[in-house]
């Protein structure tokens, strides 16, 4: 099976993403070898390459033939399920690899696994990259956003290929060397956490417009189409408009109304929230979106609870009526602004999580550059990422996106609408956990004095944890209970 000409790069793992990425690479003119343990997958990919006009792709049925078909130093992308399958694939291939060759894992891997594999690979003289790939099937085939981290040399060896294969935007290809260690996987994980937040916020906008505004799916399709021509322009808003248009094939109405309200997940959102907690970074919007997925999973419990609380006296219609008549046009405009402001807070949380991890690990992540490579190809691609990039370019040590002068002005312009939407939803009994979390995040972050003084007093009272004062340095402890008794006794005298 060995052909005389050697391939520039190899790809192992030919499920949908792997096949599409391999075809994309071949399509850009880079000869590629592909391999999968399941021979039919190899043949399928070769057939697709032939159908697409004879792309330079060769299939191999054994790990040895596959590895030996590559020019040196070799670079092999593996796209298999995260976890043990990655270790198995590495084991199968590395027997034939030689020092200087590189393995590039394109899966949604936990970053610590990548760090372990980097050191295992280096003990054999091999280079290793953990590369986040976003964009789904279509992105893999037409141009994904790529987030490679690990060996700089491994990146340099394939930088020309990745630059051509990635999505292209006005300021370059959607790929950059993210940083050392497991940083590529970590950045992809946070990307997915942000994606959870975006999807949650969009679903809340939908809920408010539908439930309080009484809008039809046709109205919603038009509104999302319109939003997609403005500051909210993004992949997720665009596909949401399309979803509202699809008719139900077995009856009247649209398919979206027939879908069971239970959200699935694969784990990267949960990791994001776990990491936020580990790093003591507040990420309430992303956490709210995760919590909402958990609660959505309790469909039967929720149906039972709905019955119990109706019996106990909750009346959905009365709650909805309690907010009075709404001006539809105004509601639509308010929801658009609430969605935008909530989104800024969610991205601020994700970016701060990246910065905290970068500081802990010494990754030296460039937040503006990461916002740039998310502008195309990936699921969270959006016009507004260019503004985030600019904010970090203006000020690399910006502590929070909210205090970038431009974003600060936008948040303030939108806060009236934002508060109206959240207030209306609360009044009507419609849960908007993501928008509420974002607004609370904003209000907590921007207030120079919080009720944390009282919490400190409580901690000092029951645990002698001490407190600091606003008017003099040092740490203090007070015999609160004893003093309170004395004061009470004093009060008694006055009575």
Ligand X SMILES: *[C@@H]1O[C@H](CO)[C@@H](O)[C@H](O)[C@H]1NC(C)=O
**Residue 84 interacts with ligand X (CB under 6 A)?**
no
Q: Residue 375 annotated as binding? A: no
CB of 445 to ligand X, least distance (A): 12
Task: Tell me whether residue 355 or residue 381 sits nearer to ligand X (CB atom).
Answer: 355
CB of 84 to ligand X, least distance (A): 10
14 vs 176: CA distance, rounded Å? 25
Q: Find how far residue 52's CA is from the centre of its chain.
A: 33
99 vs 79: CA distance, rounded Å? 22
Q: Residue 265 annotated as binding? A: no
Q: Which of 423, 439, 437, 434 lies closest to 203, judged by CA?
A: 434
Q: Residue 20 annotated as binding? A: no
Q: Among residues 1, 3, 29, 38, which is the contact residue for ligand X, using CB under 6 A? A: 38
Instruction: Determine if the peptide bond prior to 73 is cis (ω within 30°).
Output: yes
Helix (H) or strand (E) holding 147: strand 145-150
- What is the CB neighbour count within 10 angstroms for residue 75? 24
Angle, CA 373 vertex, CA 107 and CA 234 arms, to 5°: 95
Task: Tell me whether residue 59 or residue 173 sits nearer to ligand X (CB atom).
Answer: 59
Q: Among residues 19, 24, 33, 36, which is the contact residue for ligand X, using CB under 6 A? A: 36
Q: Which whole-number Å values give the CA distances from 50 to 6, 47, 58, 238, 376, in the listed order?
A: 18, 5, 10, 33, 28
Task: Tell me whether residue 87 or residue 369 sits nearer to ligand X (CB atom).
Answer: 87
Contact 12, 41 (CB under 8 A): no
Part of the chain binding ligand X (CB under 6 A), chosen from 155-163, 169-177, 393-401, 432-440: 393-401
Q: Among residues 85, 136, 427, 429, which is the contact residue for ligand X, using CB under 6 A? A: 85
Q: Which of 363, 368, 364, 336 lies closest to 351, judged by CA?
A: 368
**Residue 403 interacts with ligand X (CB under 6 A)?**
yes
Closest residue to ligand X, Cβ-based? 37
**Residue 320 interacts with ligand X (CB under 6 A)?**
no
Q: Which of 172, 160, 104, 94 lies closest to 132, judged by CA?
A: 104
Q: Residue 282 annotated as binding? A: no
Q: Among residues 280, 397, 448, 495, which is the contact residue for ligand X, using CB under 6 A? A: 397
Contact 76, 121 (CB under 8 A): no
**Residue 89 interacts with ligand X (CB under 6 A)?**
yes
Part of the chain binding ligand X (CB under 6 A), chosen from 100-108, 143-151, 390-398, 423-431: 390-398
Tokens coding 142? 């037409």
Task: Tell me whether residue 13 or residue 193 sits nearer to ligand X (CB atom).
Answer: 13
Part of the chain binding ligand X (CB under 6 A), chosen from 171-179, 319-327, 392-400, 406-414: 392-400
385 vs 234: CA distance, rounded Å? 9
Q: Residue 293 annotated as binding? A: yes
Q: Residue 164 annotated as binding? A: no
- The set of catalytic residues is 188, 195
112 vs 53: CA distance, rounded Å? 41
Residues in Cβ contact with 423 at an 8 Å cutoff, skipping those fewer than 6 apart: none
Q: Among residues 6, 37, 116, 152, which is the contact residue for ligand X, using CB under 6 A? A: 37
**Residue 13 interacts with ligand X (CB under 6 A)?**
yes
Size, binding site for ligand X by CB under 6 A: 16
**Residue 197 interacts with ligand X (CB under 6 A)?**
no
**Residue 351 interacts with ligand X (CB under 6 A)?**
no
Q: What is the tally of helices (H) and strands (E) in the chain?
A: 21, 11
Tokens coding 406? 């431009």
Q: Among residues 125, 399, 416, 423, which is the contact residue for ligand X, using CB under 6 A? A: 399
237 vs 203: CA distance, rounded Å? 10
Q: Residue 305 annotated as binding? A: no
**Residue 280 interacts with ligand X (CB under 6 A)?**
no
**Residue 446 interacts with ligand X (CB under 6 A)?**
no
Q: Residue 46 annotated as binding? A: no
Q: Among residues 41, 375, 389, 414, which is the contact residue for ligand X, using CB under 6 A? A: 41
- Would you state the torsion angle of the CA atoms of residues 64, 69, 74, 79, taken in this order, to the nearest 10 degrees? -70
Task: Tell me whether residue 281 or residue 403 sits nearer to ligand X (CB atom).
Answer: 403
**Residue 80 interacts with ligand X (CB under 6 A)?**
yes
316 vs 300: CA distance, rounded Å? 19
Q: Residue 445 annotated as binding? A: no
17 vs 299: CA distance, rounded Å? 31
Residues flagged as binding site: 13-18, 36-38, 80-82, 108, 134-136, 191-192, 196, 266, 293, 459, 465
Residues flagged as binding site for NADP(+): 13-18, 36-38, 80-82, 108
Residues that bind ligand X (CB under 6 A): 12-15, 36-38, 41, 80, 85, 89, 395, 397-399, 403
């Amino acid at each position: 099976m060995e052909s005389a000409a050697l391939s520039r790069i190899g790809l192992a793992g030919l499920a949908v993403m792997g096949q599409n990425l391999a075809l994309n690479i071949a399509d850009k003119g880079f000869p590629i070898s592909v391999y999968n343990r399941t021979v039919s997958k190899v043949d399928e990919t070769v057939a697709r390459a032939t159908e697409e006009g004879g792309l330079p792709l060769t299939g191999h049925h054994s790990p040895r033939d596959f590895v030996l078909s590559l020019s040196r130093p070799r670079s092999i992308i593996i796209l298999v399920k995260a976890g043990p399958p990655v270790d198995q694939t590495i084991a199968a291939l590395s027997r034939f690899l030689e020092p200087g060759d590189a393995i590039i894992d394109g899966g949604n891997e936990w970053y610590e696994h990548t760090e372990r594999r980097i050191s295992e690979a280096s003990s054999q003289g091999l280079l290793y990259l953990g590369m986040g790939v976003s964009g789904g099937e279509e992105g893999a085939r037409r141009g994904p956003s790529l987030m490679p981290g690990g060996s700089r040399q491994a990146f340099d060896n394939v930088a020309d290929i990745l630059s051509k294969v990635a999505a292209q935007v006005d300021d370059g290809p959607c790929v950059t060397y993210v940083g050392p260690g497991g940083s590529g996987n970590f950045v992809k994980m946070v990307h997915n956490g942000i994606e959870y937040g975006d999807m949650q916020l969009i679903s809340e906008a939908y809920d408010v417009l539908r439930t309080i505004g009484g809008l039809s799916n046709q109205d919603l399709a038009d509104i999302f189409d319109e939003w997609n021509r403005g500051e909210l322009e993004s992949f997720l808003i665009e596909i949401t408009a399309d979803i509202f248009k699809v008719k139900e094939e077995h009856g009247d109405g649209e398919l979206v109304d027939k879908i069971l309200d239970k959200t699935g997940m694969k784990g990267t959102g949960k990791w994001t929230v776990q990491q936020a907690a580990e790093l003591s970074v507040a990420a309430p919007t992303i956490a709210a979106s995760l919590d909402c997925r958990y609660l959505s999973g309790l469909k039967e419990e929720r149906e039972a609870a709905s019955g119990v609380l109706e019996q106990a006296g909750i009346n959905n219609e009365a709650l909805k009526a309690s907010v009075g008549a709404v001006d539809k046009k105004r509601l639509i405009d308010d929801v658009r602004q609430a969605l935008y402001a909530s989104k800024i807070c969610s991205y601020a949380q994700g970016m701060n999580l990246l910065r905290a991890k970068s500081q802990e690990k010494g990754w030296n992540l460039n937040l503006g550059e990461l916002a740039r490579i998310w502008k195309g190809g990936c699921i969270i691609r959006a016009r507004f990422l260019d503004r985030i990039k600019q904010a970090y370019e203006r000020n690399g040590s910006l502590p929070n996106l909210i205090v970038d002068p431009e974003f600060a002005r936008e948040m303030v312009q939108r806060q009236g609408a934002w508060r109206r939407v959240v207030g209306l939803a609360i009044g009507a009994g419609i849960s908007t956990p993501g928008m509420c979390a974002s607004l609370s995040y904003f209000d907590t972050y921007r207030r120079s004095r919080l009720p944390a003084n009282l919490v400190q007093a409580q901690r000092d009272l029951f645990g002698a944890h001490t407190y600091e004062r606003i008017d003099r340095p040092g740490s203090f402890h007070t015999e609160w209970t004893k003093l309170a008794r004395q004061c009470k006794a004093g009060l008694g005298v006055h009575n």
